[in-house]
Every structure is written in C-alpha cells, then in structure tokens.
C-alpha cells in the first residue's frame, strides 16, 4: 500500500530514445508534481497538475510531456533523450495547491548513455 509509486525505479537508455516514467498515488490527492533532482541534489519543479489540469509548466524543453489520465496518475514522457536528462525524477502529490505537505515517490534514476 505504497502512497506514491513510480515505475521504473531505474532506467538506462541510449541518447535519442523516447521513454516514459509512470506515477500513481493512492492518497486521494488532487494535485501531482514532477521534479528533477540533478547530481548536485538540486530539486527543481518541472510540472504540476491539479484535477488533471496543468497548473505549473516550468522552463522545460518541450521534449518533456506530462500526461494525467486521471487524478491518481501523472506520467512523464521524454522524447529524444539527451545526456543532460540524466537525473533522478521524483513524482509527488498533495491535497490542494495551497502549499501543504507533499508526498514523494521513491524516484526514478534515469541514465542516458
């Protein structure tokens, strides 16, 4: 009964490939997020959805496309992967958008060769 789950946990792929990371939360939250954590541990927001509607879209290359089929899922698709995309990607969820507690998934470590 994991609260926020991500798959896969590890992803190793070649430059130029397209890959997806999936996220699911069973907390009944209405807001979900994608973060990127680089090698220096900087954690940066990428996207956020509230009730399946995109509310945050940071300066992220358009090779990254989030998709929220329902409130419990937020997937991240990445086209034409580049070396600089290597990082750990975290999904998170919260109830509402007013800056309350976020619950994080375990992360997906993406390595682009």
Partner 1 sequence: SQQGEEDPQALSIQEGENATMNCSYKTSINNLQWYRQNSGRGLVHLILIRSNEREKHSGRLRVTLDTSKKSSSLLITASRAADTASYFCATTTSGTYKYIFGTGTRLKVLA
> Is residue 7 near partner 1 by the rule CB under 8 A?
no
Among 87, 92, 110, 112, binds partner 1 (CB under 8 A): 92
* Closest C-alpha among 102, 7, 93 to residue 51: 93
- Sign of the Cα torsion 99, 105, 106, 110 reads negative
> Is residue 4 near partner 1 by the rule CB under 8 A?
yes
> Is residue 60 near partner 1 by the rule CB under 8 A?
no
Structure tokens of 95? 């109830």
In the complex, the residues that contact partner 1 under the rule CB under 8 A are 4, 31, 33, 40-45, 48, 50, 55-56, 90, 92, 97-107
């Amino acid at each position: 009964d994991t609260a926020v789950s991500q798959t896969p946990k590890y992803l190793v792929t070649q430059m130029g490939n397209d890959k997806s990371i999936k996220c699911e939360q069973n907390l009944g939250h209405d807001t979900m997020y994608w973060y990127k954590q680089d090698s220096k541990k900087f954690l940066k927001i990428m996207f956020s959805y509230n009730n399946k509607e995109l509310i945050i879209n940071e300066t992220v290359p358009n090779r990254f496309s989030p998709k929220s089929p329902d409130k419990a899922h937020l997937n991240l698709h990445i086209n034409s992967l580049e070396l600089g995309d290597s990082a750990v990607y975290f999904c998170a969820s919260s109830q509402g958008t007013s800056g309350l507690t976020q619950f994080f998934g375990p992360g997906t470590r993406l390595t682009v060769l």
